[in-house]
Amino acid sequence: MARRERTAEELAEEVRRTRAHPYGVKPLGNLILSGAVNCRDAGLGNLKQTTDGTVSEIVSYCTGESVALLSATSRSFYAFCHSDEVWKPLTLFALRKDGKFFFSDNWKQTYLNTRLGEQAPKHNLIVLDNFYSDTLHHIHRDSSIPIPAKWTRTNNVERRHASSMSKEEFQELYEKPGKPVIIQGLVENWGAFKKWEWDYLLSKWGDVEYQCEAARLTMKEFKQYCDQQCDDRPLYLFDQSFCSTSEGLSADFEVPEYFNDDLFSVLGDKRPDFRWLIAGPARSGSSFHKDPNSTDAWNACIRGVKKWIFFPPSVVPPGVMCSEDGADVTSPMSLVEWFSNYYHRCDEVDVPPLEALVQPGEMMYIPNGWWHLCLNLTSTICITQNYVSNVGLKRVLSFLKSMPHCVSGVPCERRESLYTDFREALSSNLPELLQQVDEEEKKDAKPHNEPLPQGDEGGFSFDF
């Protein structure tokens, strides 16, 4: 996939502001200009004809010891074995077996810290002067290029102020038709908005563990990582248990009235995961996805600036590979990589995306079914919740019934039964609502009995 061509000025600016590759890896373009010899092939031996991607794939199956010893065979393998892509998953894996996380300098050093604690040797970087690879260099470039202004220019999601919008109006204009909107005047009144600086958070919850992708880290450990890292795809704190693990935290925010019909609450603690504390450094975020179980969501930006991109449900975003059953996802690219390769192709899509730059104190409403991506431009802290209200109940029940294999947020064994469990809980707690929804469903399913007006396609349709 060729990157969009940059202008001479853009390239010069990029070079000026980008830090050098820590191991001296250079892109292939430099090789052509310099006439030097690439040490890649000689150092790969019988594997020299395979692609860089394949060599990296081989390394990804190796244990920490194997990678370390492999890196000693040649300069070429040294380069392949010292990518953050290699040592980050190995570190997260080592953490599961009782390591102590302490991020310092880079992921290899951090791995050594985790495995060996006090005995960890100092990782001495060897700078190679004759290794050229686009694949390895791109990862580095993604981690260090300044984020171009053009990625953040478009800001066309509607903004409304809570003081001038009733719940009914919100439901009529945004929730029923499914339209993203940014709501101001809510988050800025929260305790979180006033108090949540890192000093405060660390003093209260610094030793509490949070889910950070595949690892569990304390807030202190995570913050220390954030300050030191220069990843192309930084670790993201994304924790669904924070209200029970972090005493007092839930008092610092409140669910706005617009979203307080939270029907999954009838399931009590059998409900699917529904709220997350999210924090991450610049370049972290979420790549394109649709929210689980056909729910709607809100995302409150407490600290930092977030770049959002939205595509309507029927438009697959550029660069997104949608497998037939939605199950298979190959190793996802970093957000920076997506922006570098695919952002400009948004112009070619039939329906241009909605985009927004969300500031602290603002809340994004994410309608169900919409593709969305979020890139943190600075260090950010947010709270997000998914919900289903009266407006969406029929649709969600329909989803749970017809796509049990796509249900998420509950243990595997309960996915197939979430539909019936939810119905049961609704009929105990909100029988009239359930009855109403069932009646509507029946009406939708009735075939037409009267003759149709001219030009109509006929037949009946389901509303998912």
Partner 1 sequence: KLQFLYFIALNMPFTIESGNYGTVDFSKSVVLQSNDQKPIEFVVEREAAKMSGLIKDMLEDQEGDDQTVIPIPNVNGRTLKYVLEYCEYHWNNKADPIDKPLRGKIEEVISSWDRQFLLTDLIKGGDEKQHELLIDVIMAANFLNIKDLLDLTCASVASMIKGKTPEQIRALFNIENDFTPEEEEKIREENRWCEES
Residues at the interface with partner 1 (CB under 8 A): 39, 42-47, 49-51, 53-54, 57-66, 68-78, 89-90, 93, 112, 115-116, 119, 121-124, 126, 330
Contact 294, 396 (CB under 8 A): yes
CB of 360 to partner 1, least distance (A): 38
Looking at the Cβ atoms of 41 and 169, the one nearer to partner 1 is: 41
CB of 116 to partner 1, least distance (A): 6
What tokens were used for 225? 């990582």
> Contacts by 424-431 with C-beta closer than 8 Å and gap 24+?
425/266, 425/267, 425/268, 425/270, 426/263, 426/266, 428/266, 429/266, 430/263, 430/266
Looking at the Cβ atoms of 108 and 283, the one nearer to partner 1 is: 108
CB of 214 to partner 1, least distance (A): 11
CB of 36 to partner 1, least distance (A): 13
Contact 350, 315 (CB under 8 A): yes
CB of 121 to partner 1, least distance (A): 5
Looking at the Cβ atoms of 41 and 439, the one nearer to partner 1 is: 41
* Residue among 390, 394, 393, 353 nearest 374 (CA): 353
What tokens were used for 301? 């930006």
How far, in Å, CA of 257 to CA of 372, rounded?
A: 24
Looking at the Cβ atoms of 9 and 328, the one nearer to partner 1 is: 328
Q: Which residue has the tokens 């972290």?
A: 284
Looking at the Cβ atoms of 65 and 432, the one nearer to partner 1 is: 65
How far, in Å, CA of 288 to CA of 309, rounded?
A: 9
Q: Which residue has the tokens 């694949």?
A: 135
CB of 23 to partner 1, least distance (A): 12
Q: Which residue has the tokens 């009267």?
A: 450
Looking at the Cβ atoms of 23 and 210, the one nearer to partner 1 is: 23
Rg (CA), the chain: 25
Looking at the Cβ atoms of 100 and 448, the one nearer to partner 1 is: 100
Checking phi first, is residue 455 left (phi over 0); if not, alpha (psi -120 to 50) or beta?
Answer: left
For 183, other C-beta atoms within 10 Å of its C-beta total 23
Contact 286, 374 (CB under 8 A): yes
Bridge partners (DSSP) listed for residue 289: 372
CB of 310 to partner 1, least distance (A): 28
Looking at the Cβ atoms of 31 and 277, the one nearer to partner 1 is: 31
CB of 72 to partner 1, least distance (A): 4
* Cα angle: 100, vertex 219, 84; to 5 degrees: 60
